Amino acid sequence: MVSIKSEREIDLMRISGAYTSRVLDLVGREIREGMTTKQLDTLAEEFIRDNGGVPSFLHYAPKGDPDATPYPATLCVSINEEVVHGIPSARRVIRDGDIVSVDCGVYMGGYHGDSARTFLVGNVPAAVRKLVDVTKECLYKGIEQAVAGNRLHDISAAVETHARSHGYSVIENMVGHGIGSELHEEPPVPNYGRKHTGMRLREGMALAIEPMIAMGRSRNAVCRNAGWVAVTEDGKPSAHWEHTIIVRKDAAEIMTVTPEGV
């Protein structure tokens, strides 16, 4: 069942969303060649806890799957062909030319914020830089459709159309989601679909919209490492951008943005 948030709940989500974005601002300032992904994770967890929050992803396990391995970190740090859910490690060193997707969730005041950005490290090839830019554009194309009265798959179609117009593929088995007091709520928000289909969007719906777009022909991500780390089928680079938004009548309200952020 889809939850419609009250204005009081939305006020609380603004707080968790702002802190989520501030974590990514911190990552953007600190990320550099030679760092390990574990160092980024430690910075993020310390910042979240110092500000009275709880990392949303740490120890998260999908409901209804008693055999699932709980996620072991604060951030998802996914490099190059890793689509999402890259587990931070003291052995994983960030290299010149990497693109690094960092996904963060913060639980504060009873509600979650969820956001992702893809960072460029050093001398990234122009073709890969374009992938990152277009994926970010896909996010905002989707957000433009997240207005009351539209259909859910208007968001999906906008993302897919923009990605494919640049020759990229859409990862179909990884999707966005509703969000609120639970990290993952109804409805799922795919990054592909037909316009004018899906449920009617209502003011107060909270959604995490997150395009995952790849350079190659991969339509699905393949999971490894305890079922968490998802990589492209063909090993080609993938980028990931995400915002938590509230559906409004005229334009979606973005919860996970700061003046320093995106």
Q: Is 242 annotated as a binding residue?
A: yes
Q: Is 177 annotated as a binding residue?
A: yes
Q: Contact at 8 Å (CB) between 231 and 33?
A: no
Q: Contact at 8 Å (CB) between 174 and 84?
A: yes
Token readout for 161 is 């159309």
Partners of 104 in the β-ladder: 75, 115
Tokens 């409805």 — which residue?
187
Partners of 226 in the β-ladder: none
Q: Contact at 8 Å (CB) between 77 and 102?
A: yes
In angstroms, rounded to a whole number, what is the distance separating the alpha carbons of residues 57 and 154? 28
Q: How far is CA 151 from CA 148, 191, 241, in A?
A: 8, 13, 21
Tokens 């980028």 — which residue?
239
Dump the DSSP string for 196-251. T-SPBP-TTBEEEE--EEESSS--SEEEEHHHHEEEETT---EEE-BEEEE-BSSS
3-state secondary structure of 54: strand
Q: Is 103 annotated as a binding residue?
A: yes
Tell me the helices (H) and strands (E) count for the chain, helix number first. 5, 15
- Identity of the residue numbered 172: E
The rounded radius of gyration (Å) of the Cα atoms in the chain is 17
Binding-site entries: 85, 103, 114, 177, 184, 210, 242
Binding-site entries for substrate: 85, 184
Binding-site entries for a divalent metal cation: 103, 114, 177, 210, 242
